[in-house]
């Protein structure tokens, strides 16, 4: 982390302020030899470099969630959304590969039903696979 000082004041880039605050809080209470930094890192890690449990949802539950709950959610929106972003969760192995495509098809079907078949769908992951 690059920081600089001016008149005895240490300046830290805005994106690192929370990390620095955590560092200051932990080191104010514990000696460095007592701190398990990997535990601290893992507790706050949002980058998928740790293994996620595979989440298996039964087909009837997927149907209920997408064609029931998600459909009701879309119907309850006061206005159609301007943009919808969908994360497939396939590369992190959270969603079993055999379910990913079917979930996507069902979700897109619901979006087409609510927003019309003329919606512009961009499958960015396919563009990245072709590169």
Helix (H, G, I), strand (E, B) or coil at 129: helix
Residue 113 has pLDDT above 70, yes or no: yes
| Helix/strand/coil (H/E/C) assignment for every residue in 79-123 | CCCCCCCCCCCCCCCCCCHHHHHHHHHHHHHHHHHHHCCCCCCCC
CA-to-CA separations, 37 to 11, 22, 28, 29, 51, in angstroms, rounded: 23, 11, 14, 14, 18
Give residue 64's pLDDT: 95
Contact status, residue 46 vs residue 92, Cβ threshold 8 Å: no
Residue 92 has pLDDT above 90, yes or no: no
Report the predicted TM-score, pTM, of the whole model to 2 decimal places: 0.57
Higher pLDDT, 29 or 4: 29
State the average pLDDT over residues 108-127: 88
What would the two tokens of residue 45 be? 């890690």
State the average pLDDT over residues 50-77: 86
User: Please, which pLDDT band fits residue 23 given cuts at 50, 70 and 90?
Assistant: confident
Query: What integer best gives the mean pLDDT of the chain?
Result: 81
**Residues forming beta bridges with residue 5, ordered by sequence position:** 10
User: Rounded CA gap, 50 and 48, in Å?
Assistant: 5
Q: Name the DSSP letter for residue 127.
A: H
Residues 6+ apart with CB under 8 A from 115: 80, 81
CA of residue 111 relative to chain centroid, distance: 20
């Amino acid at each position: 982390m690059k920081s600089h000082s001016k008149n005895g004041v240490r300046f830290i880039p805005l994106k690192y302020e929370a990390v620095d605050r955590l560092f200051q809080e932990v080191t104010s209470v514990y000696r460095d030899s007592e701190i398990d930094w990997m535990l601290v890192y893992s507790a706050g890690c949002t980058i998928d470099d740790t293994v996620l449990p595979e989440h298996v949802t039964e087909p009837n539950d997927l149907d209920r969630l997408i064609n029931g709950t998600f459909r009701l959610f879309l119907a309850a929106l006061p206005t159609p959304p301007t943009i919808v972003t969908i994360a497939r969760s396939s590369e992190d192995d959270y969603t079993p590969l055999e379910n990913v495509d079917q979930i996507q098809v069902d979700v897109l079907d619901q979006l087409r039903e609510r927003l019309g078949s003329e919606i512009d769908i961009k499958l960015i992951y396919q563009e990245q696979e072709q590169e």
